[in-house]
């Protein structure tokens, strides 16, 4: 009793003791000789199930009996009641997972599947999918869950597991679809971690208030959970009543006007505007917070109109709080906000996180064209990406007849700056130029190249419009390979897409030309400037931090890969198109 009272006065000690008990229980129940189908083990789990919720039951991690929904007729039920054998297998599999014995958990579950003729209880299917997910086999987890749903096992636990599978891949919309198929009363059954991840999914798709509501509900059960607290804070900031939170702080002479609040009005769109006539062509535009420049771009004129600019810093609002001062300057002069102010002061009822913003910018963080705030390039990261690109390019030149070229942002950086673009921190973009002209032939060319890459040991992952290439074993750096072709009119097509009149002439494209990227000479298209105009338009020489990569694309989807073709070239299942 004295020990129990002592632990009661010291919650951290109680938590440590509870963790020790669970580890000991996991070690016992996951022991290799233990057979979950043995009558003695089934009986032991029966005893633990009857003690569910007591301290003794803590020895069984994820005890199968712990569910609030025992009525099989309830819309929140996960299927028919578990049999005694189901419960035993599930409890032992949970213990194996807690002990890090994923292979044993998988073997027990697969053996049980064979024992019951292939149709397992949804909660056992969920556990098998969780094993695949923990082992990094995302495609296996997705296949397992989708297969069960197609077979009619429409249980909340499967939709929650599939939502978790998708959200961990950044497939925000897919995750929300399955999460919302779960009855409201069961949505927190996936755990507080999943609730935090789905709250993020909501804000990523522009529904921060729904994210805030979910995180608030979960935080009521765990008020000190740091992940939930973070999501609550970010969702509150994203869901604030922008731009009514921005009040005029100053007025005066202006050098242009912001035409749309963009992300400062809520959402992820760029802030766009124009500069006054008479300013120098390509004048630098800066967005500043408390005098600190957080993003820069340049203004560009098209067809004689006033030079325009765009800035996308959607995640900036995660740091803005009461008293922060924002302005946009063109050269030395300020640009007017839509409310007529030369600068605006934040009044959103939340504390400023300017110190954290400034510290990250000093460490090299940048706002990408999608508005994310991420670590920017370093000399080391650029060197690794460039070296990996050259390694792959040289291998394909020796092994196949297909050339590759830097493309999209990396071609733009090469021609315009002889370097990487500061805010373009995704994978290194390259183009594989196929020999064929029609869709079937182009895809056959791509399959031959991917076979050569796999033979070398590179890790491949595909989308309908591109192939991601990683070194053996995975991890960074990442190459993002689109594929191109010249059609019967000798016009250039690109799998990901383009925006302006296509260049013509394979010979002009493949003419020998080299360009410096950092300190390396890299082969580029012979008509690189014309190609860049096809991709970005006549203002491609002007940096545009708010460039929208998916806007107004021309795409020929006859050339896109089907699920079967993706599986053939990568050995993996396809992901749904974005």
Please write the tens of the pLDDT for every residue from 415-453.
998 999 888 888 999 999 999 999 999 999 999 999 999
**Residues 109-154 pLDDT 10s:** 999 999 999 889 999 999 999 999 998 888 899 999 999 999 888 8
**Residue 270 CA neighbour count, 13 Å, CB half:** 22
Question: Is the predicted pLDDT of residue 575 greater than 60, yes or no?
Answer: no
Question: Is the predicted pLDDT of residue 6 greater than 90, yes or no?
Answer: no
Using pLDDT thresholds of 50, 70 and 90, give the confidence band for residue 68: very low
Strand, coil or helix: what is 247? strand
Of 23-27, 148-152, 500-504, 562-566, which has the strongest mean pLDDT?
500-504
Mean per-residue pLDDT, 445-464: 95
For 442, the enclosing helix (H) or strand (E) is helix 439-456
Q: Angle 265-267-269 (CA atoms, 0-180°, nearest 5)?
A: 85
Mean per-residue pLDDT, 270-294: 89
Using pLDDT thresholds of 50, 70 and 90, give the confidence band for residue 67: very low
pLDDT reported for residue 484: 97
Using pLDDT thresholds of 50, 70 and 90, give the confidence band for residue 10: very low
Cα–chain-centroid distance for residue 440?
Answer: 31
Measured from the Cβ of residue 520, the count of other Cβ atoms closer than 10 Å reads: 14
Question: Is the predicted pLDDT of residue 541 greater than 50, yes or no?
Answer: yes
pLDDT, greater one: 17 or 308: 308
pLDDT reported for residue 577: 43
Q: Angle 431-436-438 (CA atoms, 0-180°, nearest 5)?
A: 105
pLDDT, greater one: 55 or 113: 113
pLDDT reported for residue 303: 67
pLDDT reported for residue 62: 65
Residue with tokens 């089907």: 562
State what percent of residues in the chain have pLDDT above 70: 89
**Residues 190-218 pLDDT 10s:** 889 999 999 999 999 989 999 999 999 99
Question: Is the predicted pLDDT of residue 58 greater than 90, yes or no?
Answer: no
**Residue 149 CA neighbour count, 13 Å, CB half:** 20
pLDDT, greater one: 140 or 576: 140
Q: For residue 252, what are the contacts with CB-CB under 8 A and spacing of at least 6?
A: 334, 342
Lowest mean pLDDT among 29-38, 328-337, 436-445: 29-38
Using pLDDT thresholds of 50, 70 and 90, give the confidence band for residue 503: very high
pTM flag (> 0.85): no
Using pLDDT thresholds of 50, 70 and 90, give the confidence band for residue 25: low
Q: Are 192 and 229 in contact (CB under 8 A)?
A: no
Number of residues assigned to the chain: 578
Question: Is the predicted pLDDT of residue 476 greater than 90, yes or no?
Answer: no
How many Å is the maximal CA-CA distance in the chain?
88
């Amino acid at each position: 009793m004295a020990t129990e009272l002592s632990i009661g006065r010291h919650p951290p000690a109680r938590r440590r003791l509870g963790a020790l008990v669970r580890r000991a229980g996991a070690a016992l129940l996951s022991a290799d000789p233990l057979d979950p189908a043995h009558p003695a083990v089934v009986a032991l789990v029966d005893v633990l199930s009857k003690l569910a919720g007591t301290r003794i039951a803590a020895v069984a991690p994820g005890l199968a009996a712990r569910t609030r929904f025992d009525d099989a007729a309830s819309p929140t039920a996960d299927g028919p009641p578990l049999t005694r054998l189901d419960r035993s297998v599930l409890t032992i599999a949970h213990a194996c997972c807690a002990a890090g014995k994923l292979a044993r958990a998988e073997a027990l579950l697969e053996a049980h599947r064979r024992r019951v003729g292939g149709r397992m209880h949804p909660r056992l299917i969920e556990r098998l999918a969780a094993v695949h997910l923990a082992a990094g086999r995302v495609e296996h987890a997705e296949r397992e869950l989708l297969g069960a749903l197609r077979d009619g096992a429409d249980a909340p636990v499967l939709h929650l597991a599939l939502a978790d599978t998708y959200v961990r891949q950044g497939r925000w919309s897919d995750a929300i679809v399955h999460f919302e198929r779960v009855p409201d009363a069961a949505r927190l059954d996936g755990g507080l971690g999943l609730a935090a991840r789905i709250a993020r999914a909501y804000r990523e798709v522009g529904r921060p208030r729904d994210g805030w509501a979910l995180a608030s509900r979960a935080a009521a059960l765990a008020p000190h959970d740091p992940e939930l607290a973070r999501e609550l804070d970010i969702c509150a900031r994203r869901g604030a009543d922008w731009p009514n939170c921005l009040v005029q702080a100053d007025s005066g002479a202006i050098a242009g006007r912001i035409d749309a609040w963009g992300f400062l009005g809520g959402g992820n769109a760029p802030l766009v505007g124009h500069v006054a006539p008479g300013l120098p062509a390509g004048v630098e535009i800066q967005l500043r917070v408390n005098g600190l420049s957080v993003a820069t771009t340049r203004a560009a004129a098209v067809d004689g109109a006033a030079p325009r600019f765009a800035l996308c810093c959607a995640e900036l609002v995660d740091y803005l709080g009461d008293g922060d001062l924002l302005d946009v300057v063109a050269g030395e002069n300020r640009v007017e906000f839509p409310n007529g102010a030369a600068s605006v002061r934040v009044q959103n009822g939340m504390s400023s996180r300017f110190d954290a913003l400034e510290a990250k910018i000093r460490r090299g963080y940048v706002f990408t064209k999608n508005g994310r705030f991420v670590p920017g390039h370093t000399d080391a990261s650029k060197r690794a990406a460039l070296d990996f690109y050259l390694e792959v390019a040289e291998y394909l030149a020796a092994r196949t007849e297909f050339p590759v070229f830097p493309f999209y942002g990396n071609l733009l950086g090469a021609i315009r700056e002889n370097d990487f673009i500061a805010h373009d921190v995704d994978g290194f973009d390259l183009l594989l130029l196929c020999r064929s002209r029609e869709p079937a032939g182009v895809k056959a060319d791509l399959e031959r190249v991917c076979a050569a890459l796999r033979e070398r040991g590179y890790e491949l992952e595909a989308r309908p419009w591109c192939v991601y290439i990683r070194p053996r074993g995975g991890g960074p750096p990442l190459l993002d390979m689109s594929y191109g072709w010249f059609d019967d009119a000798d016009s250039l097509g690109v799998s990901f897409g383009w925006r302006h009149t296509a260049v013509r002439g394979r010979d002009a494209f493949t003419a020998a030309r080299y360009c410096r990227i950092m300190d390396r000479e890299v082969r580029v298209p012979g008509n690189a400037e014309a190609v860049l105009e096809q991709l970005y338009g006549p203002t491609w020489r002007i940096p545009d931090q708010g460039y929208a990569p998916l806007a107004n694309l021309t795409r020929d989807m006859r050339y896109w890969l089907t699920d079967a073709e993706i599986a053939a070239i990568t050995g993996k299942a396809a992901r749904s198109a974005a």
